Amino acid sequence: MSDRAPIVAARGVTRVLGGAVPATLVRDVDMEVAAGEFVAVTGPSGSGKSSLLYLLGLLDRPTRGRVLFDGVDTAGLGGDALAALRLARMGFVFQFHFLLPELGVLDNVALPMRRLGRLAAAGAEARALGLLARLGLADHARKSPDQLSGGQRQRVAIARALANDPVLILADEPTGNLDSASARLVFDVFASLAAEEGRAVVVVTHDEELARRATRRLRMVDGAIVPSGAPPAGTGAAGA
């Protein structure tokens, strides 16, 4: 564990989805991620990994418990304040790349910078090009997303997540549909984002081999975090 102050922390977080049959997606989770940490979250399908990520990313609010960002309880923040935090401090990568089809590759990456408005148009473009180069996509900047392969799009999405130099990166199965070489490249990027640049990185993955490269591993079962060293008897370690 890191001795640094956590960037994001969950304190007794429970998320119940109302409805005819209320479903508990996340159950009493306590966790924190500090700068420089690369945390891998594993667990069977339906165990609540994505749901936890939405809570840490302030896209969703807990039913019980608190999510602290930079030591501040986010329960007291309004929608605009949360949006501002996501814009300037976080980067999301989803399982299905999720690029905006109307915009070119470069514009997709520059989009968060333009929304933030800290960089002038030329500066944003230069930075976006740099990020694309870092992910091995320098030659594809002028293309439209639908001219790229699935793996390439996923890397564009990662570049976009890095646009505003976030302290926290949240990725939901970013290598879900990548070949193993691309997957390794993506994990190298995440590892260096944490180790060399001191960002906090949380990655949900099914890939046990890749998960081993994280500085810390969390295993979720049935919405709760279970001790990763000793999986409960009878539960398959490999997940779903």
Partner 1 sequence: MRLALELALAQLLRRRRQGVVSVLGVTLGVGFFIAMAAMMQGFQRDFVARVIDVQPHVVVKDEFRRRPAQAAELAAGPRAAVELRGEKPVDEPRGIRGARAIAAALGDMPGVAVAPNLAGQVFLRYGTREVAATLTGIDPEAERRVGNLERDLVDGSLDALHAVANGLVLGEALARKLGARSGTTLSLAGTQGVVLKAKVVGVFRTGITSLDTSVAYALLAKAQVVLERPNVVNQLRLRLVDPEGARDFALRVEERFGYRSESWQESNANVLGIFVIQRAIMYSTIGAILVVAGFGIFNVVSTVAWEKARDIAILKSIGFRERDILAVFLLQGLLVGVAGMVLGWVLGFLIVAFMGSLRFEIEGFVRLQGFVLHRTPLHYAASGAFALATSALAAWIPARRAARADPVDILRGAT
Ligand X SMILES: Nc1ncnc2c1ncn2[C@@H]1O[C@H](COP(=O)(O)OP(=O)(O)OP(=O)(O)O)[C@@H](O)[C@H]1O
User: Please, what is the minimum distance in Å from the beta carbon of residue 197 to partner 1?
Assistant: 20
Q: Segment 120-159, which members bind partner 1 (CB under 8 A)?
A: none
Tokens 């148009």 identify what position? 121
Contact flag: residue 116 with partner 1 (CB under 8 A): yes
- Residues 3, 102, 139, 146: which binds partner 1 (CB under 8 A)? 102
Task: Give the one entry of ligand X, Mg ion, partner 1, none that residue 59 binds, where binding means its C-beta sits below a cut-off of 5 to 8 angstroms depending on kind.
Answer: partner 1
**Rounded CA separation 75/21 (Å):** 26
User: Please, what is the minimum distance in Å from the beta carbon of residue 53 to Mg ion?
Assistant: 8
Give DSSP secondary structure letters for 166-200: -SEEEEESTTTTS-HHHHHHHHHHHHHHHHTT--E
Q: Dihedral sign, CA of 66, 72, 115, 174?
A: negative
Task: Give the one entry of partner 1, Mg ion, ligand X, none that residue 104 binds, where binding means its C-beta sits below a cut-off of 5 to 8 angstroms depending on kind.
Answer: none
What are the start-end ranges of the H helices in the chain? Answer: 49-56, 79-89, 105-116, 121-134, 150-161, 180-195, 208-211
Q: Check if the beta carbon of residue 160 is closer than 8 Å to that of residue 109.
A: yes
Residue closer to ligand X (CB basis): 197 or 222? 222
Which residues are within 8 A (CB) of 3 and not within 5 positions of it... i.e. 6 or more apart? 34
Longest dimension (CA), the chain: 57
**Rounded CA separation 33/123 (Å):** 31
User: Please, what is the minimum distance in Å from the beta carbon of residue 95 to partner 1?
Assistant: 6
Contact flag: residue 62 with partner 1 (CB under 8 A): no
Q: Which residue is nearest to ligand X (CB)?
A: 50
Stretch that binds partner 1, among 1-9, 113-121, 195-203, 212-220 (CB under 8 A): 113-121
Stretch that binds partner 1, among 63-71, 88-96, 128-136, 147-155 (CB under 8 A): 88-96
Q: Kindly list the residues in this chain that would bind Mg ion in the complex (CB under 5 A).
A: 50
Contact flag: residue 51 with ligand X (CB under 6 A): yes
The strand pair at 90-93 and 168-172 is best described as parallel
Q: Segment 178-237, which members bind partner 1 (CB under 8 A)?
A: none
Size of the site for partner 1 (CB under 8 A): 32
